[in-house]
Every structure is written in structure tokens, then in C-alpha cells.
Structure 1
Amino acid sequence: MNDVVIIGGSFAGLAAALQLGRARRKVTVLDTGRPRNRFAGHSHGLLGHDHKPPLDILVEARQQLARYPTIRLVNARAESVSGAIDDFCVFTDDNECLKARRVILSYGVVDQMPEVPGFAENWGKAIVPCPYCDGFEVADQHWGLVWSGPQSHNYVRLYHDWTDALTVFADGHEIAPDIRADLASRRIPVVEGRITEIARHGDHNATVRLDTSPHVAVDILFAHPRNTPSASLHESLGLATVNTPFGIALKVDERRETSVPGIYAAGDLANPLMASVTLATSHGATAGIFAQQSMLV
């Protein structure tokens, strides 16, 4: 029997495996090889790995885990989880039942691309969601922000640390009069109309085409599409969730344990605040440590 089966082998899952492997616990990591940030050319803000391609960081991490004999990395998808604490069964698409005392869910989320030509193709390149991840590289350039709701007002204030040149695209959203007044006081133009296409020119340049307004070129476009968990295991398990402006996240306590005893969660799947490789790694390590401690006799 495994001590822990980890479902999802990106940053959170591998960080959990590392802690468990160092504690000499038997661990199996299931992964399908499709991390959320695979579209990004570089990962930023991760200490010791700043400006490295995220896929390269994951390759190096898997190589480092190979020195721990109790860790097994498996290219497979978890189809279901059944049982209870100390006696879980993770059933895979290879028709294998992996027995485990604990389970860590770290299968992440999938960004839901709007049906706008050029949006999906430019995601992670000319269109990005996070200034902490990509803002430094395009500081003092002309940024665009696709309005997604009241939370976008905070982004306007946040972006000021990187640039004074910002254009807001309403994209059909209602923007409250008081917020419009604040944007006007900050000399931030609001472009009306629906976005009909994103055309990319170079690594960090996008032309936003609209249905009722002239096209607008920006150096980088920030957008925050909704996301959804990349698997539905949490639903069949009946795990508690919390709502965020962009989707749901699994509810966990300070130990990263979900509402079902013995099942932990880490990474973007269980982070309602902000997607980040640094946070995913931290939360994964936390889940691994507390899963191990919960098995002490």
C-alpha cells in the first residue's frame, strides 16, 4: 500500500512528493503531463529558477526526485477515488487500483478561453493574467486590461507599480459610474465594445479588434478568464468548495486538508487568492508534510 497517492504532478504535486520522499514514505504521483503554465515561455518569481521555462523546471524536479527510492512517478490519469482514511483506492485509466492511506489532489485548473479568434493562440504570450509573473519584462510599456467585473478595479491600482500607460477594454461589461469616475481621474481610457479578435505582432504586442470601436494596439494584454478544475474527482468525493470571481477552489484548512479526512489539496485547485508557482510549491510542500504527520503513530 502507498502511504500517499498524489493526483497531479506539476509544481504542487512534486513539492508534496519531495517532502514525503525525504520522510521515506511510499508515494505514487499520477500525472498527465499538461501543467497549466505550459503555454508560458518563462516562469518568473520562483526563487532559484527565475526566468526559466516552466517545463524545464519540472523536468529538473522529476530528475531530482529520482534519488528517492520510495517515490514513483506514473504517467496516468486518476479516474476515481473511493474508500476512507487509511484505506483509499485511486482507480487509474490503466485499470489499476492504487491503495493509499492518504490522497493529495493537485490536478490544477484549466483556463476557459473565450470564443474570440486569436485569444487562445496568444494565451501565455501576448495575453497574460499575472503582473507578478510577467509585469517586470513589460514594465513602462502600454498595457491593456480586459474588464471582467468589479475585481478588475483593483488590478488598475495594482498595475500602477509597473506602468502608467493602461487602457481598459470594457468588453460588454457594465462599469459602475463611481469606478468610471475613478478611472477618469487616473487618466485611464475605457474602450467600449466587444472584443472580436486578438491579433499578435511580436512577442509582446497585440492589436485588440472591436465590434464598435477602432482597433487598439497594446504591448501586453492582461485578461482573467474563468477557470475550472481539470478533473471532477472533488465532485464525486463531495468536497467542500469556495467560490472565487473566476471559478471554484477546494476548501482546505491550514494543513491543506479538505472536508474529507485524509484527502489534502494543493496548487491552483485549492488556492482561491492567486495562481503562482511559488505558492503552489509552498502549498504542495505543506500538504505533503501534514499528510505525513497525520500518519504518525
Structure 2
Amino acid sequence: MQTLDAVVVGGSFAGLSAAMQLARARRRIVLVDGGRPRNRFAHAAHGFLGQDGRTPAEIVQLARGQVLAYPTAAFRTDEAVAARQEDGAFTLQLASGDTLRARRLVLATGIVDDLPDVPGLRERWGRTALHCPYCHGYEVADGRLGILATGEMDVHKALLIPDWSADVTLFTNGVLTPTDEQAAMLASRGVRIEARPVEALVGDAPALAGVRLRDGGVVPLDAVFVSSRTHMASPLAEQLGCAFEDGPFGPVIVTDARKETTVPFVFAAGDAARSNHNATFASADGVQAGASAHQSLAFPHWPPAPPR
């Protein structure tokens, strides 16, 4: 079996950015992706310099073509389902039954959103049920906006949303009780607090007409922000023994400043390896992970000693 210089698992913003650095270093790499990116529900990507307003799929298609223009890079439409380290290299088992072997591994496998069990939410996810105000707030600006609480972090989000609209409601939904200080801050920002439990999102999906409360009342809304819980989209990091830490929304792969995990020569980038998520963060992580993976191949001693 041919031993590659690196395999990059995950072909969205982080993985493609990592692959670009390795391909430009003329290293033999394979990029493996199963075609189910987290952002596939979003109509457009925003706040990504040079790509604002394009669909995530368009950005990925363009970037993949640019990476594959380098002769040492190859792409596999497949899913990496198992990984092990043996004899100084990593062996990946693919869903197709094929096997890849590489000296370095970059995990850009992403995460999966676990949405609250609220009828009408899933079919609006990425359209009028939104995660990030920086990604989508401008597009729903001046509308009737809500925040469906899933935890303490939603007070922070509710304090931000009034910069996009003067009509904002925080639905505590039985999972959040603002303190007196928090309630005062929310009031100073013009945020209404609705404590009655939410029963469903209503309207002609994916459009949103409002939130129906358990007592039958309806609060008119044009969009609602929801902080999902998350879990890893891939078992590879756990199989390899990488350490995790608890992030505000779910587990995060532990990495150092070079984006190397606690397992030597395994690097991780993107949403699976950071708590703050957006396209630019993911791409920057990928650049760092790809460059670090290359340097670990080039330097006789890794990691290099810090400069004196």
C-alpha cells in the first residue's frame, strides 16, 4: 500500500484550506469527504472575505478545483469510518472498503447540530431558524426576531441581536431564568423576555410566521436564533485517542497553537476543534493545520524548539 504524506479528512472550508497548504508544498495528499457538510442547510455564506453571498456549495466547488489543480493532490468521495496508528503511520478504513495510509493526518471532520425538539424547527434550519447572527443577522435585519433559549449563553446572544432589530424577544422556554442583573441588561437593550413555554414554530416553512406558545398564544416572528448542542460528526479523533474538552455547545478536540492534537502528527481544524464557529475561522484553522502538518514532515525534530 502506498504511504501518502498526508490524508485530510473533511472537504469543506477547513479541510480544503489544509489541503491547499500541503499541495502547494508538493506533498502527496488525498482529501476524503462524504459530502454532508454542516453548512449544507444554509442558503448562503456571509462574512467570508471575497465569498460573501455565495452558497457554501459554490465556494467548496471552486476551492476543490483549485486544490486539485496541484498534481500531488487527489480527492475521494467517501467516508473515513475507522482509523488506527501503526508502524509510524496512520491507516484509514473507508466506507467503500478501501484503505488509505499516510504519515500525517488532518481531521477537519466537523460537527453535527442537535436541535431542540420543537416542531417546525428542523424544516426551517438555516433559513429562518438560524444559529449565528454574524452569519445571518444582516439578512433578517429590522424583522421581528426571537432567541429560543437552550442554555445560559443565550443571554449573551440576546444582548447582541438588537443591533440587527429593535423588535427582539427572548424565549426562555423553561431552560433559562435570567438574573435580576441580566434582566436589567436585556431591558436596557429593548429585549422582551417571554417565559411561557414554546410549543412550535408556525407558518409556511421555510418561512416563519411566529412562535406558538403552549397556552395557545402566538408571538409573530420573521426569524428565530437557536444555539444548538453539537456532537462530533466523525469517530476518528476518539478512535485515535485524541483528548477532548467541554465547549459551550459540545465536545471540542484539544489542539495546541499549531493545531496539533494530543496525538502526535494528528492535526485538527474547523468546527470540531474550536468553540467559535464560522467560515473564516474554519479556513484559518485549516491553513494552520496544513502548514503545521507539512512542517512536521520537513523538520527532523518536531515540534521545533522555541526560539531563544
Q: TM-score, normalised by structure 2?
A: 0.91
Distance, in Å, in 2 between the alignment partners of 1:84 and 1:45 is: 41
Distance, in Å, in 1 between the alignment partners of 2:225 and 2:155 is: 13
Q: Say which SS state the counterpart of residue 111 (structure 1) adopts.
A: strand
Partner AA of 1:184 in structure 2: A
Distance, in Å, in 2 between the alignment partners of 1:206 and 1:16 is: 41
1:11-64 C-alpha deviation (Å, 9 max, x unpaired):
111111111101100111111001101011110011111000111111111122
| Counterpart among 241, 244, 247 of residue 250 in structure 2 | 247
Map 1:156-175 to 2 at 5 A: 156-175=158-177
Confirm or deny: 8 A CA contact 2:124 2:205 kept in the other structure: no
Map 1:30-45 to 2 at 5 A: 30-45=32-47
Partner of 1:113: 115
Partner AA of 1:242 in structure 2: E
Q: Say which SS state the counterpart of residue 59 (structure 1) adopts.
A: helix
Tell me by how many angstroms 1:233 deviates. Answer: 1.5
Q: Say which SS state the counterpart of residue 261 (structure 1) adopts.
A: coil
Tell me by how many angstroms 1:280 deviates. Answer: 0.5
- Aligned-pair RMSD on alpha carbons? 1.7
Identify unmatched segments of 5+ residues in structure 1: none
| Counterpart among 220, 225, 247 of residue 222 in structure 1 | 225
Map 1:1-297 to 2 at 5 A: 1-83=3-85, 86-178=88-180, 179-201=182-204, 205-212=208-215, 214-272=217-275, 274-296=276-298, 297=300
Partner AA of 2:291 in structure 1: I
Confirm or deny: 8 A CA contact 2:84 2:239 kept in the other structure: no
1:114-146 C-alpha deviation (Å, 9 max, x unpaired):
222211100001100111111112222221001
Distance, in Å, in 2 between the alignment partners of 1:174 and 1:49 is: 36
Confirm or deny: 8 A CA contact 2:271 2:277 kept in the other structure: yes
Q: Say which SS state the counterpart of residue 64 (structure 1) adopts.
A: helix
Tell me by how many angstroms 1:84 deviates. Answer: 5.1
Q: Say which SS state the counterpart of residue 295 (structure 1) adopts.
A: helix
Tell me by how many angstroms 1:153 deviates. Answer: 1.5
Confirm or deny: 8 A CA contact 2:85 2:240 kept in the other structure: no
Identify unmatched segments of 5+ residues in structure 2: 301-308
Q: TM-score, normalised by structure 1?
A: 0.95
Q: How many residues align?
A: 296
Per mean C-alpha deviation after superposition, the further-off stretch among 238-247 and 220-229 is: 238-247
Confirm or deny: 8 A CA contact 1:193 1:213 kept in the other structure: no
Distance, in Å, in 2 between the alignment partners of 1:258 and 1:204 is: 41
1:142-198 C-alpha deviation (Å, 9 max, x unpaired):
210011222112112222322222101111123133223432344321112322211
Distance, in Å, in 2 between the alignment partners of 1:259 and 1:212 is: 50
Structure 1 runs, 4 residues or longer, greater than 6 Å off: none
